[in-house]
Amino acid sequence: MRIRNYKLREVTTHRMAILAIVALCLVLTGTGGERAVAQQSDETFTIHDVQVDASAASSAQAREIAIANGEKQAIQRLFDGMVLKRDQPFLPNLDVSQIAALVDGVSVADEKVSRTRYLARLTVYFKVEDIRTLLQRAGIAFSETKAKPVLVLPVLETDGYATLWTNPNPWLSAWQAYDQTDSHVPFILPKGGAQEAASISAEDVITGNPDTIMKLADAYQIDDVYLAYGRLERDPYSGKVVMRALFLRFGTMPAVLGDDMVQAPMDAMPADRLPALMSSAVGTTVEDMKDDWKRQTLVHYGAEVSLAATVPVATLADWVRVRRKLENTPVIRDVSVTSMTVHEARIAIKYLGNQQQLALALAQSDLQLAQNDAGDWTVTATDTRASR
């Protein structure tokens, strides 16, 4: 995506206004925009913290095997974040050389080498356009948009008693232990301070009390609140303890995202069975949340769509902030400035998907896409904290 400046409307009100426009010109024609786009694309298609450990006849061979294994792990994690679970069986079966051809680079940390063994932690960078092309040719729709953090409230019911704040809450602990590396739907968990625990009960959360949900959303400065309701039960056939994991979304689009019965892994030792059961239930529930987000942001990549919009700006800093957010929106392929005054910028946005998906993608960067009665579109910043 490139920022191009076509023309500037003449402004004659004040010399400072002219200087402001000149400054905006310099911002628009500089190279910072393309750098920002490259960084965003790289981050979207970058997989961090890939642990590798391989042995061979020599350290050089072990390193080669480890890097290849790491690249395979990384592409699996990349696709897991972008592709619906139901579509993942249809992903192309790539060999080592095909995966390597999709890799743009690898950085290495915590490297440990012996004569026959190689251990390291990798960051793998994939070629953005090559990955997109691969999925397009396979006929698989995918999502690049990462969500803003959401709040998850883990409520555990045992023997008819619901627990959210009570310590210990092994269900909350399992959520705290979940590895969110590369997640497209990051979540935060309640802190459970004395005041919070005293004013909000588990029953308030379970019933979806609107005042409670709004209070939590305001306290944590987030838009979306989810309930992860876990209930321990005993399977009447096997006699083993199982967990029912119910996952709900509150707010303007309430929905039940998952209702799963989860068993502890077969290889779990008796003493580890409950923690393993909780961990499996968290993994299942997170998959439900990730798939829900992918469905909302899934794009069948084809022809680009264009939309003309106005961006109200009060200062140069306002425009720079909005411009960077537009650049960091994955579904946007190009932003062109068609005219500008000291009060607004008129832009043309080329994007993939539909207008609803564009609006949702922009919302993750605190930008609101709205249409007035005359059919004109406006992009405004909603995060007032950014300009303080």
Q: How remote is the C-alpha of 184 from its chain's centroid?
A: 2
150-297 and 46-126 share a CATH fold: no
- Is residue 118 a contact partner of residue 54, using CB atoms and an 8 Å limit? yes
- Is residue 383 a contact partner of residue 366, using CB atoms and an 8 Å limit? yes
Q: Provide DSSP, 110-139.
A: EEEE-SSEEEEEEEEEE-HHHHHHHHHHTT
- Every domain of the chain and the residues it spans: 3-42+301-387, 46-126, 150-297
* pLDDT, tens digit (0-9, with 9 covering 90-100), for 307-336: 899 999 888 888 888 988 898 888 888 888
Is domain 150-297 given the CATH code 1.10.20 in the classification?
no
Helix (H) / strand (E) element for 184: namely none
Q: What percentage of the chain carries pLDDT values higher than 90?
A: 39
Q: How confident is the model at residue 269 (pLDDT cuts 50, 70, 90)?
A: low
Write down the pTM of the prediction.
0.74
Q: Give me the helices (H) in 229-387, please.
A: 273-297, 316-327, 355-363
One-letter amino acid at 81 equals G
Residue with tokens 């994939």: 126
Structure tokens at 67: 């890097």
Which residues, including other chains, have CB under 8 Å from residue 275's CB and lie 6 or more apart? 170, 174
Find the distance separating the first CA and the last CA of the chain, reported in whole Å: 29
Partnered with residue 120 across adjacent β-strands are 52
Which residues, including other chains, have CB under 8 Å from residue 303's CB and lie 6 or more apart? none
Distance in angstroms (rounded) separating the CA atoms of residues 323 and 45:
21
Which residues, including other chains, have CB under 8 Å from residue 11's CB and lie 6 or more apart? 17, 18, 21, 341, 342
Count of C-beta atoms within a 10 Å radius of residue 68: 17
Among 78, 240, 70, 248, smallest CA distance to 152 is for 248
* pLDDT, tens digit (0-9, with 9 covering 90-100), for 73-130: 999 999 999 999 999 999 999 999 999 999 999 999 999 999 999 999 999 999 998 9
Q: How confident is the model at residue 242 (pLDDT cuts 50, 70, 90)?
A: confident
Query: What is the second-level CATH architecture of the domain 46-126?
Result: Roll (3.10)
Parallel, antiparallel, or unpaired: how do β-strands 367-371 and 377-381 relate? antiparallel
Among 121, 119, 124, 123, smallest CA distance to 109 is for 121
